[in-house]
Amino acid sequence: MADIDALIRRLRSELGAEQVITDRQELRTYECDGLAHYKVVPAVVALPHTATQVAAVVKACVAAGVPYVARGSGTGLSGGALPHAEGVLIVTAQMRRIVEVAPADERAVVEPGVINLQVTKASAPHGYYYAPDPSSQQICSIGGNVAENSGGAHCLKYGFTTNHVTGLQIVAPDGDLVRLGGRALDPPGYDLVGAFVGSEGTLGIATEVTVKLTRLPESVRTLLAAFGSIDRAGAATSAIIGAGVVPAAIEMMDALAIEAAEAAVACGYPPGAAAVLIVELDGPAAEVEAQFEQVTGLCEANGAFEIRTAADEAERALFWKGRKSAFAAVGRISPDYIVQDGVIPRTALPEVLRRISEVAEAHGVRVANVFHAGDGNLHPLVLFDARNAGEADRAETVSGAIIDLCIEYGGSITGEHGVGMDKSKYMPRMFGPDDLETMQLVRCAFDPLTLSNPGKIFPTPRLCGEKPGSDLRERFPGVEVF
């Protein structure tokens, strides 16, 4: 058993007493991320202000043989930042410097605690913005985005976080400060930046991120189309992509999600809609106008009974307000819910959504559907009331069945939320033993002691050098999987 008291003394010496939390009540603040279904109180929370301090914390943990977990804003939805009961939670939220905005290079350099939307606000005066835009972009941090390879509504056209990160400074799992990549798009050698982005804190902790900036488009047009059925909205989505149009975003919400959004933010979507599409086009003005006419015609041809066009930025923001608030909004119609994140081929949307409805009905729960329709990234919200006996279990069953459907249709168990703790048990359904073993060999190359965010991603994590199948949860019993 590690000497936690000795580790705490060392951390206070390195950081200062005010940056080390040990009070049980204060620690409970950090017991979960945005997925409150899993909760673990950490032994210690460290609040470093610099990369050097992060390195000092990691080195202290390695010397003591204590596991550690990195956390940004705590908005993740897969339990990726779930603490370890016998470990240190390293919170980077106070590392909030925008080190540099370099429009001539189309780059920005930021610390991991910088809020996603702040990068765009800092870049906008120079005619640029940061394209990845998770729904939580007003509060989520760049460090967390890097860990989870976050996407957002506009990833259809612009890609995920990995497409916008060119360089990193990281604290490696042994505590060394290391630089990966830089400002160049494609430096020689192995793509270690690509390996690190989306590794969910298992390969180290990002302490500085170099991101690509995107030129603000000349024109942006946004429309909202209402349909009498999800099938028709899905058909319109396929027709738009099939016509060769690649919008910046195509988002869909079903009737239950619309009901929640109306209750929460009064977004004023067309009454009676079984589904709405939000389609946004951007680029050169002439191209946007031509595509806008094309998209409008395709929505009409596929049964849209009302089409609204945002006349100004305020109306555009109102269209997006309903969509961006959807996850939180369901709290208005259900006391508890599970957010899922899976991917299916876009053409399978109508069939998969019908099957999700059938599964939900069979188990007596409701599912609100909100998703990135353009690339088939589903975000079903499984609603339940934990106060009623058996409802949580039924919701969990439906949630798992949705993931199984994604796999059955040739998709993925996650699109942008990550695997974390929540989906580790589904990894063997998507990958064979050899695949999982190969992934863990990569992890062992970075972290041979397996102290960096243990118990995440893999259903049966192993100690490097041991036979496959040994379970870190037996070694670190504070981590729970339901």
Q: Is there a domain that residue 54 lies in? A: yes
Helix/strand/coil for 402: helix
Give the type of residue at 94.
Q
* CATH number of the domain where residue 105 is located: 3.30.465.10
**Both 117 and 211 in a single domain?**
yes
Q: Is there a domain that residue 419 lies in? A: no
**Both 224 and 201 in a single domain?**
no
- Other C-beta atoms within 10 Å of 434: how many? 9
The dihedral region occupied by 293, where left means phi > 0, alpha psi between -120 and 50, and beta the remainder, is alpha
* CATH number of the domain where residue 79 is located: 3.30.43.10
Q: Is 95 exposed, middle or buried (0-12, 13-18, 19+ CB in 10 A)?
A: buried
Structure tokens belonging to residue 38: 């899993």
| Domain finish residue from 327, 358, 380 | 327
Helix/strand/coil for 377: strand
* CATH number of the domain where residue 297 is located: 3.30.70.2190
| Domain finish residue from 215, 244, 262 | 215
Q: Is there a domain that residue 63 lies in? A: yes
**Both 136 and 186 in a single domain?**
yes
Which residues in the chain come in under a pLDDT of 70?
A: 1, 462-463, 465-482
Q: Strand runs (DSSP E) across 185-298, as ranges? A: 205-212, 214-215, 219-227, 249-254, 275-283
**Both 135 and 209 in a single domain?**
yes
**Both 231 and 322 in a single domain?**
yes
Which residue intervals of 159-212 are DSSP H helices?
Answer: 192-196
Angle at Cα 420 formed by Cα 415 and Cα 425, nearest 5°? 90
The per-residue pLDDT for range 269-326, each reduced to its tens digit, is 999 999 999 999 999 999 999 999 999 999 999 999 999 999 999 999 999 999 999 8
Which residue intervals of 266-382 are DSSP H helices?
Answer: 285-301, 313-324, 326-329, 349-363
Q: Is there a domain that residue 272 lies in? A: yes
**Both 57 and 125 in a single domain?**
no
**Both 25 and 87 in a single domain?**
yes
Q: Is there a domain that residue 349 lies in? A: no
Q: Is there a domain that residue 407 lies in? A: no
**Both 204 and 221 in a single domain?**
no
What are the DSSP calls for 80-100, one per residue? TT---TTSEEEE-TT---EEE
**Both 209 and 222 in a single domain?**
no
Structure tokens belonging to residue 297: 């015609």
| Domain finish residue from 91, 118, 151 | 91
Give the model's pLDDT for residue 464: 78
Give the model's pLDDT for residue 480: 43
**Both 193 and 273 in a single domain?**
no
The dihedral region occupied by 361, where left means phi > 0, alpha psi between -120 and 50, and beta the remainder, is alpha
**Both 246 and 320 in a single domain?**
yes
Q: Is there a domain that residue 457 lies in? A: no
Structural domain span for residue 151: 98-215
Angle between helices 255-265 and 313-324 (to 10 degrees): 120
Q: Is there a domain that residue 64 lies in? A: yes
**Both 62 and 109 in a single domain?**
no
Number of structural domains the chain divides into: 3
Which residue intervals of 16-138 are DSSP H helices?
Answer: 24-27, 51-64, 116-123
Helix/strand/coil for 195: helix
